[in-house]
Amino acid sequence: MPNPAADLIRLLQQKGLTIGTVESATGGLIAHLLTNVPGSSAVFKGSVIAYSNEVKIKVVGVKPASIAVYGAVSSQVAKEMARGGKKLLDVDICVADTGIAGPGGATPGKPVGLFYLGIAYGRSAKSRRLLFTGTRGQNKMSAALAAVAWVHQALSHEGL
């Protein structure tokens, strides 16, 4: 059975890179997937669950203006979470997420199941918008698996 997290851990080990996560809507699920892999301690340094805007700002370094202008669930905030996590955790690559897992929380233009992922690597940060249609648990797992897959894809193809 394929294990995307194990594949990512192996790739990080091969490249000699470290990873960390800053998670909001997934609540630590990305970190859970990665740390379930034996040997992950060689490359996984840590995680911050930045569920509240206060933690996003005070701990991770998201700009208050970014949340005010774009909202907590936005491309801008996902990138800032990844950048802040990269610095805070002192890792080579940081993946972050922010989203609306459901079943409530939707706002105009931001439906349930909307997630933004952010990756910071080197001097760049990128984001990706995803929309899922499952239950709360399914949306969280879909976002976590998408984050793992995106990091693997980006590192495999040097797409960062």
Q: What is the mean pLDDT of each run of 10 residues along the chain (160 residues)?
A: 92 97 98 98 98 98 98 98 98 98 93 98 96 98 98 81
Give all domains of the chain, ordered by start, each with its CATH number: 4-156 (3.90.950.20)
* CA pair distance 87, 159, nearest whole angstrom: 21
pLDDT of residue 2: 76
Question: Cβ(31)–Cβ(21) under 8 Å?
Answer: yes
CA dihedral 131, 145, 152, 24 (to 10 degrees): 70
Is residue 41 classed exposed, middle or buried when 0-12, 13-18 and 19+ CB atoms within 10 A define those classes?
A: exposed
Q: Which residues have a Cβ under 8 Å from the Cβ of 92 and sit 6 or more positions away?
A: 17, 18, 19, 86, 121
